[in-house]
Amino acid sequence: MRILLTGCAGFIGAKTAELLLEQGHQVIGIDNLNDAYDPKLKWWRLRQLQAHPSFRFVQVDISEWTPTWRVFGEHLPYDAVINLAARAGVRQSVENPWVYIATNTTGALNLLGRQAVWRTEPMHPADVKATWADITKARSLLGWEPQVSVEEGLRRSVEWYLENRDWAKEVVLP
C-alpha cells in the first residue's frame, strides 16, 4: 500500500511509519518539525525512517492549505491517509490555544478531500496495562484496555533511553 502519514517525526507517527515500512508499505511522511519540544528528537526519528528506501519525507505544515494540497497532489495516488499530526504539550495549549486549533483542527480539515473511512486497529504493544488515569470512559465508549503492565512500559522506556542516551541527553525540555 501507498500511505500518506502526517506527524511522521512525532513519537507515535515515527513508530507507525516504522511498522508500516516493516510490513512492506510505501510511506510518504509529512511533518512540520515544530519546536513544541526539542526538535533533535524529531530529527533523530526522521533519520531512522529516511534510511528506508520506501520512505519519502516532505516538511510541510498541514494547517497551511496551499502547501498541504500541493504535497498531497504531487504524491497521488494513496491507498490510505493516516493523520497523526498534532501539536504536543498541555501547558503550551493553555498559553497559545490558537496554534493547537491550527494544527489539530484546521490541519485535519485540510486533509479531507473525500469521505474518510474509519477503522479501529489493535492496540500498540507499548500501551500501559495499568495507569493512574481513570480509564472508565475509554473502556465503556471504546472498549479500550491497557496491553502491558506499568513495569513493562517502564522497562521498555529505560531500555530505549539506554540505547539512545548518547544523543538523548542533549534534548532540552521546555
pLDDT of residue 51: 96
Is the sign of the CA dihedral 134, 140, 142, 148 positive or negative? positive
Q: Is the pTM above the cut of 0.85?
A: no
Query: For 96-124, what is the mean pLDDT?
Result: 74
> What amino acid occupies position 15?
K
For residue 118, name the pLDDT band (cuts at 50, 70, 90).
low
DSSP β-ladder status, 55-59 and 80-83: unpaired
Architecture of the domain spanning 2-119: 3-Layer(aba) Sandwich (3.40)
**What are the boundaries of each domain within the chain?**
2-119, 125-174
Query: For 125-149, what is the mean pLDDT?
Result: 75
pLDDT above 80 (res 161): no
For residue 117, name the pLDDT band (cuts at 50, 70, 90).
low
pLDDT of residue 86: 86
For residue 132, name the pLDDT band (cuts at 50, 70, 90).
low
Which 3 state secondary structure label does DSSP give 74? helix
For residue 141, name the pLDDT band (cuts at 50, 70, 90).
confident
